[in-house]
Amino acid sequence: MALLEVRDLRLSFGGLKVLQDISFSVEKGAINSLIGPNGAGKTSLFNCLTGFYKPKGGSIRLGGRPIAGLPPHRITALGLARTFQNIRLFKEMSVLENAMSGQHCRSRHGIVSAILHLPSQRREEDMIRGAGMRWLEFVGIAEHAHRLAGGLSYGDQRRLELARALASAPEIILLDEPAAGLNEREKLDLVHLIRRIRDETGVTVLLIEHDMGLVMQVSEKIVVFDYGQKIADGTPEAVRADPKVIEAYLGTED
Amino acid sequence: MSDGARTLPAAAQPPLVRRSHLLPGLAALGCALVLPHFANAYVTEVATTALLYVVLCLGLNIVVGYAGLLDLGYAAFFAVGAYTTGILTSEFGFNFWLTIPVAMAAACLAGVIIGAPTLRLRSDYLAIVTLGFGEIVRIIARNLDITGGASGLVGIERPEILGFKLMQVQHFYYAFLALALLAVFVCLSVERSRMGRAWFYVRYDEDAAAGIGINRVSAKLQAYMMGAVIASVAGCLYAAKMTAISPESFTFNQSLLILLGVVLGGMGRIPGVVLGAILVALLPEVLRGAGTYRPLVTAVALLAIMLFRPNGLWPDKRG
Q: What is the DSSP track for B160-226?
A: EETTEEP-SHHHHHHHHHHHHHHHHHHHHHHHTSHHHHHHHHHHH-HHHHHHTT--HHHHHHHHHHH
Exposed, middle or buried by CB within 10 Å (0-12, 13-18, 19+), for B122?
exposed
Summarize the confidence of residues B99-120 as an average pLDDT: 89
Query: Is pLDDT at B266 greater than 80 in this prediction?
Result: yes
* Superfamily name with CATH number, domain A4-79+170-250: P-loop containing nucleotide triphosphate hydrolases (3.40.50.300)
**Across the interface, do A101 and B197 touch by the CB < 8 Å criterion?**
yes
Instruction: Determine, for residues B208 and A133 on separate chains, whether the beta-carbon distance falls below 8 Å.
Output: no
Strand partners, B207: none
Average pLDDT over residues B55-72: 93
Which of A25-34, B9-18, B230-239 shows the lowest per-residue confidence on average (mean pLDDT)? B9-18
What is the per-residue pLDDT across A9-19, written as a single tens digit (0 to 9) for each? 999 988 888 89
The whole-angstrom separation of Cα B273 and Cα B311 is: 12
A119-139 and B194-204 are packed helices; what angle lies between their axes, rounded to 10 degrees?
Answer: 50
Helices (H), chain A: 42-49, 72-77, 95-101, 111-116, 119-139, 154-166, 184-201, 212-218, 236-241, 243-250
- Nearest 5°: the CA angle B164, B168, B170 is 95
Q: How far is CA B218 from the centre of its chain?
A: 21
pLDDT tens digit sequence for B162-197? 888 888 889 999 999 999 999 999 999 999 999 999
**ipTM topping 0.95:** no
Give SS3 for A12: strand
B41 touches chain A (CB under 8 A): no
Q: Count Cβ atoms below 10 Å from residue B306 Cβ, excluding itself.
A: 15
Of B132, B45, B97, B204, give the one whose Cα is nearest residue A148.
B204
Strand order in the sheet with A4-13: A16-26, A4-13, A57-62, A65-66
pLDDT tens, position by position, A137-152: 999 999 999 999 999 9
How far, in Å, CA of B198 to CA of B268, rounded?
14
Q: DSSP for B52-90?
A: HHHHHHHHHHIIIIIS----S-THHHHHHHHHHHHHHHH
Residue B209 sits at the chain A interface (C-beta within 8 Å):
yes
Cα(A179)–Cα(A155) distance, integer angstroms: 9
Among A28, A45, A49, residue whose Cα is nearest residue A36: A45
The answer to whether A198 and A166 are in contact (CB under 8 A) is no
Q: Cα–Cα distance between B85 and A154 in angstroms, integer? A: 56
Chain B positions touching A93 (Cβ under 8 A) are: 197, 200-201, 204, 318
Domain limits, chain B? 40-250
A contact residues 151-210, partner B, Cβ 8 Å cutoff: 164-165, 168, 200-201
Q: Report chain A residues whose CB lies below 8 A from the CB of B10.
A: 96, 133, 142, 145-146
Q: Is the confidence at residue B212, as pLDDT, over 90?
A: yes
pLDDT of residue B2: 41
In chain B, what percentage of residues exceed pLDDT 90?
55
CATH 3.40.50.300 range(s) for chain A read 4-79+170-250
Cβ pairs bridging A and B (under 8 Å): 127
